[in-house]
Amino acid sequence: MAEKIILDVDTGHDDMVAIVMASGLEEIELMGLVAVVGNQILEKTLANTLKVCELIGQQAPVYAGMDRPLVRPKVIGGDIHGESGLDGPVFPTLVKKPQALHGVHFIIETVLANPHEITLVPTGPLTDIAMAIRLEPRLPSLVKRIVLMGGSMGRGNRTAHAEFNIFADPEAAAIVFGSGAPIVMMGLDVTLQVVLDENRSATYGKLTTRTAAMFNASMAHYIQACRRHGSEFPAMHDPCCIAYIADPSIFTTEFHDIEIELHDREKYGKTYAGTTNGSGTVQVGIGADADRFWKLLDRAFTRLP
Ligand code: BDR
Ligand code: CA
* Span from the CA of 59 to the centroid of ligand 1 (angstroms): 25
Q: How many CB atoms lie within 10 A of CB 169?
A: 32
- Residue 299, Cβ neighbours under 10 Å: how many? 15
Cα(87) to centroid(ligand 2), Å: 14
- Ligand nearest, relative to CA of residue 36: 2
Alpha-carbon gap, residue 90 to 227, rounded angstroms: 22
Which residues have CB under 6 Å of ligand 1? Answer: 12, 14-15, 39, 77, 80, 123-124, 149, 157, 163-165, 237-238
Measured by CA distance, the residue closest to atom 10 of ligand 1 is: 164
pLDDT in tens, the chain (305 residues): 999 999 999 999 999 999 999 999 999 999 999 999 999 999 999 999 999 999 999 999 999 999 999 999 999 987 889 999 999 999 999 999 999 999 999 999 999 999 999 999 999 999 999 999 999 999 999 999 999 999 999 899 999 999 999 999 999 999 999 999 999 999 999 999 999 999 999 999 999 999 999 999 999 999 998 888 887 789 999 999 999 999 999 999 999 999 999 999 999 999 998 766 677 889 999 999 999 999 999 999 999 99
Nearest to residue 65, comparing CAs of 125, 147, 12?
A: 125
Strand pairing of 28-35 and 62-64?
parallel
Ligand nearest to the CA of 192: 1
Q: For residue 229, which ligand has an atom nearest its CA?
A: 1
Residue of 232, 250, 233, 231 lying closest to 241 (CA atoms): 250
Q: Which residues are catalytic?
A: 10
**Residue span of the structural domain in which 59 resides:** 3-302
Closest alpha carbon to 285 in 259, 258, 260, 252: 252
Q: What is the pLDDT of residue 299?
A: 97
Q: What is the CATH number of the domain that holds 192?
A: 3.90.245.10
**Closest alpha carbon to 235 in 196, 177, 270, 285:** 196
Most ligand 1 atoms within 8 A of CB, residue of 7, 11, 20, 39 to mutate: 39
- Chain segment 6-41, per-residue pLDDT in tens: 999 999 999 999 999 999 999 999 999 999 999 999
Burial class (CB in 10 A: 0-12, 13-18, 19+), 174: buried
- Measured in Å, residue 12 CA sits from the centre of ligand 1 at 8
pTM over 0.95: yes
Dist. CA 201–CA 301, nearest whole Å = 14
Backbone angles phi, psi at 290, to 5 degrees: -60, -40
Residue 254 and residue 275: Cα distance in Å, rounded? 10
| Amino acid 281: pLDDT | 87
- Ligand 1, residue 188: give the atom nearest the CA: 10
The pLDDT value recorded for residue 279 is 76
Report the nearest atom of ligand 1 relative to the CA of 158. 10
- With the most atoms of ligand 1 within 8 angstroms of its CB, the residue from 86, 123, 221 to mutate is 123
Atom of ligand 1 nearest to the CA of 14: 6
Distance 10 CA to ligand 2 centre (A): 5
Q: What is the C-alpha to C-alpha distance for residues 248 and 225, in angstroms, rounded to an integer? A: 30
Strand pairing category for 145-149 and 118-122: parallel
Q: How many domains is the chain partitioned into structurally?
A: 1
DSSP state of 195: B
Cα separation, 77 vs 122, in Å, equals 16
pLDDT of residue 276: 65
All residues at 6 or more sequence positions from 181 whose CB lies less than 8 Å from its CB, including other chains:
133, 139, 140, 141, 143, 145, 146
| Mutation test residue for ligand 1: of 13, 161, 164, the one with most atoms within 8 Å of CB | 164
